[in-house]
Amino acid sequence: MSDVILTEEICETLAQAAKKKSRSLGVGVTFSVCDENGNLRLLQRFGDAILPSLEISPKKAYTAATLRQSTAEFGKIAQVGGSAFGINITNDKLVIFGGGFPLQVKGKTVGGIGVSGGSVEEDEEIAHAALDTFATHT
């Protein structure tokens, strides 16, 4: 367990970075932060994010935090022929496409973020803005 705690202030700072990037791209998204156990710490909807993003974003954060890898990486092994094919059927919280990333400090996962509402590429670009901000605050 890391000594870094996902305080409300840190979560809000990450959300602001995601919001700024989503606005610069002209994409409405929902942004989520969860702790290392997948418990939701923050959920914010920016602009005209599609309604399904309200459910998908926290699931991306959960997946990234609890599996300690990005949702895109996890998706590779969950596809047909992968070593974990079908795992997302066993747990409806798992997401197997991009937009979720673990928050890590010194190799330890302390939480996860999820972005949903744009294309996978847009979601990941917005997430990277939050990850870059996290790196400067840890």
Contact 32, 58 (CB under 8 A): yes
Per-residue pLDDT tens digits for 24-60: 999 999 999 999 999 999 999 999 999 999 999 999 9
Which domains, and CATH codes, for the chain? 8-137 (3.30.450.150)
pLDDT of residue 97: 94
Q: What is the mean pLDDT of residues 9-16?
A: 97
What pLDDT digit, counting tens, does each position of 17-33 carry?
999 999 999 999 999 99
- Alpha carbons 27 and 104: distance in angstroms, whole number: 26
Cα dihedral 84, 90, 93, 99, rounded to 10, equals 20
pTM (2 d.p.) = 0.93
Residue 49's φ and ψ, nearest 5 degrees, are: -55, 140
- Residue 101: is its pLDDT beyond 90? yes
Looking at residue 17, what DSSP letter applies? H
- β-strand partners of 45: 30
